[in-house]
């Protein structure tokens, strides 16, 4: 299994999922910082992981990796997040759009039989769920990738499944517009205050659950170009704060939030994920928050993490 962006938040959880199943992993990333991967894997045995430095914006990178490592399936996660795309749209388009196109073209050239699985995002949808464009450059790029995948199936026969996570949380989530709840959990574990910069309803999805969906999709025999919303029940920020306070009682009163909702649908219409990939793991919020804070406490004790705004 090839995982691009393996040193990112979701990528690290995908690698952990695959290792737990005894799968061989080729982990491709341009970022030299493997801190998130080390934090998520903790003491996991990484003998089955081959880590490669590579740039997906270079056309030959993907073709070479697929050929050299006899790749049977691809989970494509390498991307720049909302703030980075807003700050530098040209670079965001290069990484997120051209990079994804390179992945799909390499899969075509390699004759890959399994569907290319890629992370889209709820940000690809308009704020009201209608026909308006997405509200961020990041969302625009994710929508473009969905269109590219559609054409690559109809024109070239390259199967794909795009997964649209909402608010991913868990160890390793330290970047992006929706990283606030996870940062609040880390600050609570460290006994420090934190302000979440948004409010309103949202879907909270643990990194291990998103990873489970992605791996199941890559293992499926799906043929077509499908994009899936996950059926997670929406919660709200006050409930998230209450769960944090329950897991870290000394944080009571120190986690605050804005009332402004996120600029995309709180709970998009759920697709029949089970019919396509056969599994939709969903960690209860109180379990996910508690396990994340306990995980952060271990990392803090070892000096492997430091709370940042």
| 190, pLDDT greater than 70 | yes
Question: Residue 139 above 70 pLDDT?
Answer: yes
Q: What is the C-alpha separation between 35 and 38, in angstroms, rounded?
A: 5
Whether residue 161 has pLDDT greater than 80: yes
User: Would the pTM count as exceeding 0.85?
Assistant: yes
* Mean pLDDT for the chain overall: 95
Q: How do residues 38-55 score in pLDDT, each as one tens digit?
A: 999 988 888 999 999 999
Q: What is the mean pLDDT of residues 133-162?
A: 97
Per residue in 17-41, pLDDT tens? 999 999 999 999 999 999 999 999 9
Please give the pLDDT value at position 272: 87
Mean pLDDT, range 100-128, rounded to an integer = 95
pLDDT at residue 189, rounded to an integer: 98
Four-way CATH pick for 2-170+203-232+265-277: 3.40.47.10, 3.40.50.1980, 1.20.1280.290, 3.40.50.720: 3.40.50.720
Q: Can you tell me the mean pLDDT for 273-288?
A: 92
pLDDT of residue 130: 65
Percentage of residues in the chain having pLDDT higher than 70: 99
d(CA 281, CA 68): 33
Q: For the residues 122-151, what does the mean pLDDT come to?
A: 91
The pLDDT of residue 132 is above 90: no
Percentage of the residues of the chain whose pLDDT score is greater than 90: 88
What's the whole-number mean pLDDT along residues 201-208? 97
Give the DSSP letter of residue 221. Answer: -
pLDDT tens readout for residues 62-112: 999 999 999 999 999 999 999 999 999 999 999 999 999 999 999 999 999
Average pLDDT over residues 139-165: 97
**CA angle centred on 115, ends 122 and 60, rounded to 5°:** 95
Determine the pLDDT at residue 45.
87
Which runs of E-coded beta strand occur in the chain?
2-4, 25-29, 49-53, 74-76, 116-119, 160-164, 167-169, 194-196, 201-202, 204-206, 225-229, 235-236, 255-257
| pLDDT band for position 126 (cuts 50, 70, 90) | confident
Between 308 and 300, whose confidence is greater?
Answer: 300
Cα dihedral sign, 302-246-208-136: negative
**CB-based burial, 94-118: b 16+ in 10 Å, e otherwise:** bbbbbbbbbbbbbbeebebebbbbb
Q: Domain spans of the chain?
A: 2-170+203-232+265-277
Phi and psi (nearest 5°) for 32? -75, -15
């Amino acid at each position: 299994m090839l995982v691009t962006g393996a040193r990112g938040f979701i990528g690290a959880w995908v690698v952990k999922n695959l290792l737990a199943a005894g799968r061989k992993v080729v982990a491709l990333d341009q970022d030299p910082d493997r801190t998130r991967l080390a934090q998520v894997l903790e003491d996991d045995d990484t003998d089955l992981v081959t880590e490669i430095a590579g740039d997906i914006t270079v056309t030959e990178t993907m073709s070479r990796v697929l050929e050299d490592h006899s790749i049977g399936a691809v989970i494509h996660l390498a991307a720049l997040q909302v703030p980075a795309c807003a700050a530098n749209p040209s670079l965001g388009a290069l990484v997120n759009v051209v990079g994804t196109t390179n992945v799909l073209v390499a899969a075509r050239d390699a004759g890959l039989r399994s569907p290319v699985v890629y992370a889209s995002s709820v940000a690809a949808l308009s704020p009201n769920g209608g026909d308006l464009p997405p509200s961020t450059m990041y969302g625009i790029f994710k929508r473009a990738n969905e269109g590219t995948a559609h054409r690559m199936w109809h024109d070239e026969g390259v199967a794909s499944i795009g997964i649209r996570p909402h608010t991913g949380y868990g160890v390793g989530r330290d970047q992006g517009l929706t990283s606030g709840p996870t940062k609040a959990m880390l600050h609570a574990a460290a006994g420090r205050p934190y302000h979440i910069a948004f409010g309103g309803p949202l879907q909270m999805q643990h990194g291990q659950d998103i990873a489970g969906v992605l791996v199941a999709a890559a293992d499926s025999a799906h043929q077509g170009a499908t994009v899936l919303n996950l059926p997670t029940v929406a919660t709200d920020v006050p409930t998230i704060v209450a769960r944090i306070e329950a897991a870290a009682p000394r944080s009571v009163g120190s986690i605050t939030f804005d009332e402004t909702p996120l600029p995309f649908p709180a709970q998009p219409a759920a697709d029949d994920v089970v019919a396509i990939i056969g599994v939709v793991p969903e960690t209860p919020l109180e379990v996910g928050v508690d396990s994340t804070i306990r995980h952060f406490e271990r990392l803090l004790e070892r000096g492997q993490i430091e709370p940042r705004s």
